[in-house]
Chain A
Amino acid sequence: MSGRRINAPLVVGGLLVLLVVIMALVSYVWTPYEFKFLPVPKEQPPNAEHWLGTDRSARDVLTQILLGARTTLFVGVVAVGVAALIGVPVGILAAMSPGRFGQLIMRGNDILLAFPALLLAIMFSTLYGGGTTIAMIAIGIATIPAFARITRSGALQVINTEYVAASRVAGHGPLAIAWKHVLPNVTGLVIVQASVSFAIAILAEAALSYLGLGTPTGEPSWGRMLLESQNVLHRSPHLAIIPGAAIAVAVLGFNLFGDGLRDYLDPKLEGR
């Protein structure tokens, strides 16, 4: 374990993630304006009063970016939470179940994996009405297989070790083994996966909101900002560039962070 080193992606990714988190936290105590139609000209370019300009409904863009960071983190937490809470136990169960049952779980997993996440989210929005939470639960469900697989592969390695065999001989039940030996050993893998899935969830929310299926009208979201800027792209390009950059920063941040974390937690992988 002496090989653990702080690496560049970890630092850069961490800082970008931190930036998004800070924006979200700041929005709880301060935003330059209220998130609503203001009695000022619409589609202003960035200026002294409105640092990032105003949008086509004469709302302050910086306010929306700050509030949108909340939505972005929220969707990531919901999607990754759903995926991890279901995917990790399923993966451990599959690894520890001998024979057919474990196989059956993983085949079911494969079927879910074959289902495009966005399609599932669109289906959910149609069936249960739109809204950020519904869409993110769908994205979370579609991400379960990723967590189940990575957990299972990690768990399989642990289960075949001598100390697990020893523990079994000592009379510990499967639940105790899962809790005391398996789970701690897959945590690193799961955290890395969570970071990457977080980025995917952010992109999915942006895509769904852009399609009008995610965050509803009147609520701040970076994806919605893109949607609303579409018609004025030719005359106010900043309205698309700013939320686009915000999404890019968040996605890049979580991806780099995930990469860096993997290298940090598993030095053997470094340089691969």
Chain B
Amino acid sequence: MTSRSRVLAAALSATFLLTACNAGSTSDDPTDGDTQTGGETGDNGGGTAAPAGDDMVRIGLVAEPASMDFTTTDGAAIPQVLLYNVYESLVKVDQSGEIVPALASEWEVSEDGTTYTFTLESGVTFSNGEEFTAEDVVSSFEAVQNDWTVSLKSQFDIIDSVEATADGEVVVTLSSPSNSFLYSLTTRVGAIFDSNSVDELATRPIGTGPYTFGEWNRGTSITLQRNADYWGEEPYYDQVVMSYFDDANALNNAMLTDSIDVVGTVQAPEALSEFEDGDYQIIEGTTNGEVVLGLNNETAPFNDARVRQAVRHAIDHQTLLDTCWDGRGTLIGSMVPPTDPWYEDRTGDFPYDTEAARALLSEAGAEGAEVRLRIPTLPYATACAPIVESMLEEVGFEVTIDDLEFPAAWLEDVFTNADYEMSIVSHVEPRDLGAVFGNPDYYVRYGTPELRALLDEADAGTEEVQIEKMKEAATLVSEDAASDFLFLLPNLIVADPGITGLPENAITESFDLSQLAGE
């Protein structure tokens, strides 16, 4: 139980990292750029970019990392560029959401679910030439527990011991069975460092990945170089340049003027129509970002399940998605994206039915209930709030929209103090049903004993039990209308034709470049 809540706490603290884009560019020392390579670098939007060739691809992103050290610095931008590309982990999540081998060629879990035995790949070297050994795994995992300072480290509190039992074999013992553990290895806490070179994590990351860390022009770009000694399939491109832009329009314009070859994440779906002339490929995938119409389950009127269910009936989700997010995205109906193993289509639980909504409201005696829709000033929230307002007023709610500056004001009023009735926010952490709804102190104030029991059974059981129990949990959250699930944010990529292997689904912490290729 305690380990569960620690994992919850970790997930809680990280849930908003992506939405917050809080990896602000703190270019403390612009001369500190790494100059170990003399390669060409892309220029961001200045119009003086080097021509694209097969030897190089330029990817545009927003939010530059503040540092390269995710052991001490929070923020989604750091693992986005480094994980799976420069650093590798024992296991990773592939594009279909499955956990697949990486540095561990195979692994076994003991009967009681507390002992994991990993068999490591051989002949793997770090980019500094050092050999990858079982000792590196031990030191990396122990560093998470001892040296890391970010709150995510608590995911490893469940580890009792890590031992290098043989050449190329590592045994991890947990204090209690946990399915979350293996998944956590696919995130940044699972990254494997060379035990002898962890002094310059902030500026010179060294890993075993398909790319090595090249040049970092602070405020502009990061260049990754092909790792010629990579143990797996070598990357297609000599160089991948990650160019960072301050705002989405600048990013899109850079694409239109051919200063970059790929828009890694299109921020506003409307922008796609600029690229629909056939000169570009538009890739739409999924994410883990459930846009939730969060209801405060603790206070009136949403402490009554019938009022919550009325909300779910009152919203025409397809029309909402078509209007506020240009029809890009997926309707989910519960807190599970299609890439999770326990996904079920729950959109049929509460079909759009204004009569049913009105009936539920009058049954609960809550006609004309006054509710505040206190939204963060984020694009999807401000775009969808007026439509939610109209749809709810149609069935008899009195809705007032209240803009709260994000992150500060929203985090304080809604997230911390739960001083709200409704809010709209995207939860971007993977597998976050438990983190959001399993904790009675979380801002939706749900966490019923019934749901917590299901979540605990799921985490402790076998894979089959986990899937079954998580399905039940998702059903419960949907049918009890713990909140409404507006839609799943799409992952939108625009790329020059001929570029393949882009990570279509943004379901990991990494912008996975390992499959990237040209024609």
Q: Is B268 an interface residue (CB 8 A)?
A: yes
Q: Assuming A36-B393, A42-B323, A130-B403, is B386 touching A59 (CB within 8 A)?
A: yes
Residues of chain B with a CB closer than 8 A to A130's CB: 403, 405
Residues of chain A with a CB closer than 8 A to B270's CB: 56, 231-232, 235
Inter-chain contact A217/B393, CB cutoff 8 Å:
no
Which one of A42, A57, A234 has the highest number of Cβ atoms from chain B below 10 Å of its Cβ? A57
**From A42, A56, A58, A218, contact of B401 by CB (8 A):** A218
- Looking across the interface, which residue of chain B has its beta carbon closest to that of A235? B273
Inter-chain contact B402/A36, CB cutoff 8 Å:
no
CA distance A235 to B379 in the complex (A): 18
How far is the CB of A247 from the nearest CB of chain B, in Å?
20
How far is the CB of B347 from the nearest CB of chain A, in Å?
20
Q: Is B391 an interface residue (CB 8 A)?
A: yes
- 13 new A-B pairs (CB below 8 Å) besides A39-B319, A232-B270? A36-B393, A130-B403, A212-B382, A216-B403, A217-B375, A217-B401, A218-B385, A218-B401, A219-B401, A230-B249, A231-B270, A231-B271, A234-B273
**From B323, B382, B389, contact of A58 by CB (8 A):** B323
The interface bits of chain A over 229-256 (1 if a CB of B lies within 8 angstroms of the residue's CB, else 0) are 0111011000000000000000000000
CA distance A106 to B391 in the complex (A): 54
CA distance A161 to B271 in the complex (A): 66
Q: Which 8 A-B pairs have the closest CB atoms?
A: A218-B401, A37-B390, A36-B390, A231-B270, A216-B403, A231-B268, A37-B387, A232-B270
Q: Is A126 an interface residue (CB 8 A)?
A: yes
CA distance A59 to B387 in the complex (A): 10
Inter-chain contact A217/B323, CB cutoff 8 Å:
no
The interface bits of chain B over 358-390 (1 if a CB of A lies within 8 angstroms of the residue's CB, else 0) are 000000000000000001010100110111011
Residues of chain A with a CB closer than 8 A to B390's CB: 36-37
Q: Is A129 an interface residue (CB 8 A)?
A: yes
- Looking across the interface, which residue of chain B has its beta carbon closest to that of A216? B403
How far is the CB of A131 from the nearest CB of chain B, in Å?
8
Residues of chain A with a CB closer than 8 A to B324's CB: 57
How far is the CB of A195 from the nearest CB of chain B, in Å?
31
Residues of chain B with a CB closer than 8 A to A36's CB: 386, 389-390, 393
- Number of cross-chain contacts by CB at 8 Å: 56
Residues of chain B with a CB closer than 8 A to A58's CB: 323, 387
Inter-chain contact A217/B385, CB cutoff 8 Å:
yes
CA distance A126 to B401 in the complex (A): 18
Inter-chain contact A217/B382, CB cutoff 8 Å:
yes
**From B377, B387, B401, contact of A57 by CB (8 A):** B387
Count the B residues whose beta carbon is within 8 Å of the partner chain — how many?
Answer: 27
Would you list which residues of chain A between 1 and 59 have a CB under 8 Å from chain B? 36-37, 39, 42, 56-59
Q: Is B28 an interface residue (CB 8 A)?
A: no
- Looking across the interface, which residue of chain A has its beta carbon closest to that of B267? A231
**From B274, B377, B383, B385, contact of A212 by CB (8 A):** B377
Residues of chain B with a CB closer than 8 A to A57's CB: 323-324, 383, 386-387
How far is the CB of B323 from the nearest CB of chain A, in Å?
6
- Looking across the interface, which residue of chain B has its beta carbon closest to that of A227? B382
| Prevailing SS type, chain B contact patch | helix
How far is the CB of B101 from the nearest CB of chain A, in Å?
42
CA distance A147 to B136 in the complex (A): 72
Inter-chain contact B405/A126, CB cutoff 8 Å:
yes
Q: Is B283 an interface residue (CB 8 A)?
A: no
Q: Is B99 an interface residue (CB 8 A)?
A: no
Q: Is B228 an interface residue (CB 8 A)?
A: no
Inter-chain contact A216/B402, CB cutoff 8 Å:
yes
**From B271, B273, B393, B409, contact of A129 by CB (8 A):** B409
Range of interface residues on A (Cβ < 8 Å): 20 to 34
Residues of chain A with a CB closer than 8 A to B323's CB: 37, 42, 56-58
Residues of chain A with a CB closer than 8 A to B249's CB: 230
How far is the CB of A132 from the nearest CB of chain B, in Å?
11
The interface bits of chain B over 86-108 (1 if a CB of A lies within 8 angstroms of the residue's CB, else 0) are 00000000000000000000000
Which one of B271, B377, B401, B403 has the highest number of Cβ atoms from chain A below 10 Å of its Cβ? B403
The interface bits of chain B over 279-320 (1 if a CB of A lies within 8 angstroms of the residue's CB, else 0) are 000000000000000000000000000000000000000010
22 cross-chain CB contacts under 8 A:
A36-B389, A36-B390, A37-B386, A37-B390, A57-B323, A57-B387, A58-B387, A126-B405, A130-B405, A212-B377, A212-B403, A217-B382, A217-B386, A217-B401, A217-B403, A231-B270, A231-B271, A231-B379, A232-B270, A234-B273, A234-B274, A235-B270
- Looking across the interface, which residue of chain A has its beta carbon closest to that of B377? A212
Residues of chain A with a CB closer than 8 A to B271's CB: 231
CA distance A195 to B46 in the complex (A): 43
- Looking across the interface, which residue of chain A has its beta carbon closest to that of B322? A42
Inter-chain contact B401/A216, CB cutoff 8 Å:
yes
Residues of chain B with a CB closer than 8 A to A218's CB: 385-386, 389, 401
Would you list which residues of chain A between 204 and 219 have a CB under 8 Å from chain B? 212, 216-219
- Looking across the interface, which residue of chain A has its beta carbon closest to that of B387? A37
Residues of chain B with a CB closer than 8 A to A56's CB: 270, 323, 383
How far is the CB of A17 from the nearest CB of chain B, in Å?
30
- Looking across the interface, which residue of chain A has its beta carbon closest to that of B373? A218
Residues of chain B with a CB closer than 8 A to A42's CB: 322-323
**From A37, A129, A230, A234, contact of B391 by CB (8 A):** A37
CA distance A39 to B324 in the complex (A): 13
- Looking across the interface, which residue of chain B has its beta carbon closest to that of A43? B270
CA distance A127 to B409 in the complex (A): 10
CA distance A212 to B383 in the complex (A): 12
How far is the CB of A64 from the nearest CB of chain B, in Å?
11
How far is the CB of A234 from the nearest CB of chain B, in Å?
5
How far is the CB of A214 from the nearest CB of chain B, in Å?
10
- Looking across the interface, which residue of chain A has its beta carbon closest to that of B408? A126
How far is the CB of A83 from the nearest CB of chain B, in Å?
26
Which one of B324, B379, B386 has the highest number of Cβ atoms from chain A below 10 Å of its Cβ? B386
Residues of chain B with a CB closer than 8 A to A126's CB: 405
- Looking across the interface, which residue of chain A has its beta carbon closest to that of B384? A57
Would you list which residues of chain B between 29 and 64 have a CB under 8 Å from chain A? none
Residues of chain A with a CB closer than 8 A to B274's CB: 234-235
Residues of chain A with a CB closer than 8 A to B322's CB: 42
How far is the CB of A249 from the nearest CB of chain B, in Å?
25
Would you list which residues of chain B between 214 and 267 have a CB under 8 Å from chain A? 249
Residues of chain B with a CB closer than 8 A to A212's CB: 377, 382, 403
Residues of chain A with a CB closer than 8 A to B405's CB: 126, 130
Residues of chain A with a CB closer than 8 A to B379's CB: 231
- Looking across the interface, which residue of chain B has its beta carbon closest to that of A213? B405
CA distance A216 to B379 in the complex (A): 13
How far is the CB of A35 from the nearest CB of chain B, in Å?
9
CA distance A39 to B320 in the complex (A): 10
- Looking across the interface, which residue of chain A has its beta carbon closest to that of B319? A39
Residues of chain B with a CB closer than 8 A to A232's CB: 270
- Looking across the interface, which residue of chain A has its beta carbon closest to that of B403? A216
Which one of B249, B270, B405, B409 has the highest number of Cβ atoms from chain A below 10 Å of its Cβ? B270
